[in-house]
Amino acid sequence: MTLILSAGIILAFGLILFCLIKWWNVQCVGVTPVHLFTFIAILFTSGLDVGLIMFPLTEFAGYADIATSPEYAFSNPLAIEFGYWGFLIWGFYFLTSFYFCVVEPRVKFFEIPFVKVINNIVIIGTCAFTAYLFLINLPWYVPQIGDGESVVFTFYIIVFCVILAAAYSSTDIKYVKILSLASTWMFLGLIALMWANASIGLGEFGTTIVMIGNYFTNIHNFVLPLNDYHEFYLFWWFAWSIMIGQFTSRFVGGLRTWQVLGALLVFPSIPLAVWFAVLYYYHANSIDIGGFYSLAMVFVGITFVINSLDSLIRLYSDNLSITVSKFGKWKYIAGNVIALFGLTILFELDFLQIQWIGALVIGIYFACLLYIGIFKRKEVMAIKASPEERLVDFEKIETVH
């Protein structure tokens, strides 16, 4: 599996470099372009899930234990956490967003029936994995309900309700946009709340966040997997990459290729860095997050899960023509809830693993490149801009505004 992952990473970064060289200044326009802030909000809240809220405080100690994991000795726990979540790996999302915005309309690889089926299996499986992560992390943040060792039906009810809310939200694209913006503001509010609770001074915050700089001086160490846990993260990012690119590419609003890359690498990384620095301050100073503050984190985590799931449900439902207009709202909601909740349970029982899904996505990368090389090389190499009809529609929208 490590060999498959390493090959996928090398391919992805090679393709990113090729796209930048070949199409550096191409204007990218999605099918429903939005303003930059809305695009970043959709990307950030759709491209991240509850792990962002719930993982760091459970992981810092492990990254600091270099006796058990000597491979972490080159950096500090905060920089490693950032490296697992920020900056460089958002390049995967740039690659897929650019592809679906500019290249796929000419190639139509994902419209091939077999590819469409495989891609939607990936999307549905990753949706369920997101719900599974939420389920297994709830006991750490809400120990009042259960310790995670025994079966507590309350946790399952919470996850079921989250999936139900996401399925309902996916019935109308306006809900997806509203929830993306709301989630972004709620996350920023959570940062402010946690900051105020710990009474972090600007000097203390500066001393903490500067530790992330070690990531950039050691960025090469984060390209290939450091260990099995890093490998898990990288497979996880691959599992997300195609579907997030497919979804967020719809909302790109006239950015140039280099601007899309800059937006994806920089804008999400800033709040990530601030959030991780605040959490690391809690960890380093052994500040308790029990009671209200852990519940606040769970609440924001729930919005992130709903936001991630509704985007992906909307995506695979559209791909498979499982629409509200075709089946009716309640049949549509019931079908999605049953499928996702059932798969969530399979993840918990270890019948499914995210590494398998990530490996499948890497296979899709290679298959797509091979297909282009054999059948669509001339069309791709001739690309000069986003599809003409999108550019015309975008110019009309800009004229109105």
User: One digit per residue, pLDDT tens: the chain, 401 residues?
Assistant: 889 999 999 999 999 999 999 999 988 888 888 887 778 777 766 666 667 787 888 899 999 999 999 999 999 999 999 999 989 999 999 999 999 999 999 999 999 999 988 988 888 888 788 788 777 777 766 666 655 555 567 888 888 888 888 888 888 766 666 777 777 788 889 999 999 999 899 999 999 999 999 999 999 999 999 999 999 999 989 998 988 888 888 888 888 999 999 988 998 888 889 999 999 999 999 998 877 888 888 888 888 788 778 777 877 887 777 878 788 888 888 988 888 888 888 887 777 778 888 999 999 999 999 999 999 999 899 888 777 666 655 555 555 44
Global pTM reads 0.84
Structure tokens that stand for 92 in this block: 């995967």
Strands 253-256 and 27-29, by their bridges, are: antiparallel
pLDDT recorded at residue 14: 96
pLDDT computed for residue 259 by the predictor: 92
Instruction: Count other C-beta atoms under 10 Å from residue 123's C-beta.
Output: 26
Contact (CB, 8 A) for 45 and 307: yes
Q: Which residues contact 349 (CB under 8 A, 6 or more apart)?
A: none
How many Å apart are CA 21 and CA 97, to the nearest integer? Answer: 16
Question: Which residue from 362, 304, 307 is spatially nearest to 95, judged by alpha carbons?
Answer: 362
At a CB cut-off of 8 Å and minimum separation 6, what does 129 contact? 236, 239, 347, 352, 354, 357
Enter the tokens of residue 63.
Answer: 């990254």
Kindly give the residue spans of alpha helices, DSSP state H, lying in 170-268. 173-198, 202-209, 213-217, 228-248, 257-266
Q: Which residues of 155-182 are buried (b: 16+ CB within 10 A; e: fewer)?
A: bbebbbebbbbbbbbbbeeebbbebbee
Q: How big is the chain, counted in residues?
A: 401
3-state SS, residue 255: strand
The pLDDT, as a whole number, for residue 401 is 47
Distance in angstroms (rounded) separating the CA atoms of residues 100 and 77: 35
DSSP string, 16-45: HHHHHHHSTT-EEE-SS---HHHHHHHHHH
Q: Which domains does the chain have, with CATH numbers?
A: 2-400 (1.10.4160)
The pLDDT assigned to 400 comes to 46
